[in-house]
Homo-oligomer: A and B are copies of this chain.
Amino acid sequence: MSQNLSELDLSHLQEALSRSGQKVTPQRETVFKVLLAKRDHPTVDEVFNRAREAMPGLSLATVYNCLETFVGCGLVRQVNHERESTRYCPNLAPHAHFRDKETGRVHDIDLPPEVLGSLRSILPPGFDSETIEISFHGRAQAKDGPAS
């Protein structure tokens, strides 16, 4: 539950927000720290509950606002699986997601550039893709450890 989030991580927040003309507020800091502290793809509700430990007055709407802001300035990615609640992920490296049928956990799967390339190459001319989402669904061996 580290208090030792590197300054570097928080400076990302600072930088990304000011890049898009927005302010660093206590709420945004708190929410961002929650995302960095446990990278388990929490839902809004989970973020809300964790964040309230540090900031009891925080409102759910604000958590929605913060997360939307982060997504908007590229700090965080949304992860959707079927119709379940949206989850949030501060891993900015290109990666796919694997959703475990049994546990519901979401795992990051590293996406090598050549695979990304071959994916891009299947688009016929005229299709200009900004984002690609890849999600696997199945069972993962209980390789425990932090629910990545």
Contact = CB atoms under 8 A, between A and B. Distances in A.
Interface of A: 78, 80, 82-83, 86, 96, 98, 101, 107, 109-112, 114-115, 118-119, 121-141, 143
A12 to B, nearest CB: 24
A145 to B, nearest CB: 12
Contacts of A134: 119, 132-134
A78 B86 contact: no
Contact of A131 (B121, B125, B131, B136): B136
B133 A138 contact: no
Given A80-B83, A133-B134, A128 B123 contact: no
A82 to B, nearest CB: 6
Given A109-B123, A110-B122, A126-B141, 8 more contacts: A80-B80, A96-B119, A98-B127, A98-B129, A115-B119, A119-B134, A131-B136, A133-B137
17 contacts: A78-B82, A96-B122, A109-B123, A114-B118, A115-B119, A115-B121, A119-B119, A125-B141, A126-B141, A126-B143, A128-B140, A128-B141, A129-B137, A130-B139, A131-B137, A131-B138, A132-B134
